[in-house]
Amino acid sequence: MELLFSNAALSRIRVAILFGLVFAMTKAGAAPPKEPLLNKPAPRLARLSLDNDRVDLAALRGRVVLLNFWATWCAGCQVEMPRFAQWEDKYSADGLSIVGVSMDDDSGLAISVAHKLHLTYPVVMGDEKLGLAYGGILGLPVTYLIDRRGVIRAHYQGETNLDAMETILRRLLQTR
């Protein structure tokens, strides 16, 4: 008997397996993973956006970047993203750039959600390789704040206090 799964279903299965592994490691007394990317240069990211524009983190040096990994099936992601769009409007002139990374397998779904949420910032499609470069995306949402020199200064996993994140963001924007 052959089982067929859609790409979206396979993505959800992979995420569930990764959550299970992390849970099992925690119960077995394994130490949680450290933050190996904090205070280090952000891994390279250069891709075409859903609007077919080139997005390159290296080209954003001199700006503070909020890099957000999300998926269409992630309810917490859909709560955060409209707020990120507001921040882009509010802080763009101060040097903020936001880049969304959809971890969906289907760009059509990502385009639909981006339009539904009126996202004004570029969204690129992510994949396993990009996720691994950013320490392994073991659940969504995942957000990184990157300073003007391209160094990761904050990492947020899962539901986050957006007011606290905005405070750190404003502090990074004040640093020249």
Both ends of the chain: CA-CA distance in Å?
Answer: 61
Who contacts 125 (Cβ-Cβ below 8 Å, separation ≥6)?
47, 50, 101, 102, 104, 107, 110
On whether residue 31 sits in a domain, the answer given is no
50-108 per-position pLDDT tens digit: 999 999 999 999 999 999 999 999 999 999 999 999 999 999 999 999 999 999 999 99
User: What is the CATH number for 69?
Assistant: 3.40.30.10
The pLDDT tens digits of the residues spanning 109-133 come to 999 999 999 999 999 999 999 999 9
pLDDT, tens digit, for every residue of 134-164? 999 889 999 999 999 999 999 999 989 999 9
Residue range 22-59, pLDDT digits in tens = 443 334 344 344 578 999 999 999 999 999 999 999 99
User: In the structure, what pLDDT confidence band is assigned to residue 18 with cuts at 50, 70 and 90?
Assistant: very low
pTM, to two decimals: 0.81
Number of domains in the chain: 1
In eight-state DSSP terms, residue 155 is E
Domain membership of residue 4 (yes or no) is: no
Residue 130 lies in a domain: yes
